[in-house]
Structure 1
Amino acid sequence: MKWFDNTALTLVIIGALNWLLVGIFKLDIVAVIFGNLTWISRIIYTIIGLCGLYLISLYGRIGSSS
């Protein structure tokens, strides 16, 4: 499962960088590459959102390992 944790964390970091660009420059990289709310961009947003929800479980795993 460690590879899944690392993959999910990487995707969430990429998503956070995208939001940083949206906030500072009004530049949505996903929309630029795949189009504004096309089916593929919606899938990408959904995957990143699900990874973020999955990473909430890290709080429990970090607390139990201490």
Structure 2
Amino acid sequence: MRLNALDWLAIVLTIIGAINWGLIGFFDFDLVRAIFGTRTLASFAIYSIIGIAGLYMIFTIAKQENREEAR
């Protein structure tokens, strides 16, 4: 599977989101909130972009599964 720039961006954002959730789960520390503040437009934008990246990764994985089944 050859990844394009959008795929790589989604992977990086998904990893960042996973790390943030890990920090919340293990240490009760929200990195996004610490950097951008609580309930700010920037924090909502970051959470939204990371959520979209996660949805894109679901689509990308499903697309790859369909390609492999076609072989």
User: So what's the TM-score if we normalise by structure 1?
Assistant: 0.91
Which runs of 5 or more structure 2 residues have no equivalent in the other structure?
Answer: none
Residue type of the alignment partner of 1:7 = L
Larger Rg: 2
How much does 1:14 deviate?
0.3
Root-mean-square deviation (CA, aligned residues, Å) is 1.3
In the alignment, the residues of structure 2 paired with residue 51 and residue 59 of structure 1 have an alpha-carbon distance, to the nearest angstrom, of 12
Residue type of the alignment partner of 1:59 = I
Asked if 1:16 corresponds to 2:18, the answer is yes
User: Which residue of the other structure, out of 50, 53, 68, is the alignment partner of 1:51?
Assistant: 53
Aligned residue-pair number: 66
- 2:36 paired residue number: 34
Deviations 1:3-56 (A, max 9, x none): 000001100100000000000000000000110121100000000001111111
User: Which residue of the other structure, out of 52, 63, 66, is the alignment partner of 2:65?
Assistant: 63
Which runs of 5 or more structure 1 residues have no equivalent in the other structure?
Answer: none
In the alignment, the residues of structure 2 paired with residue 28 and residue 57 of structure 1 have an alpha-carbon distance, to the nearest angstrom, of 27
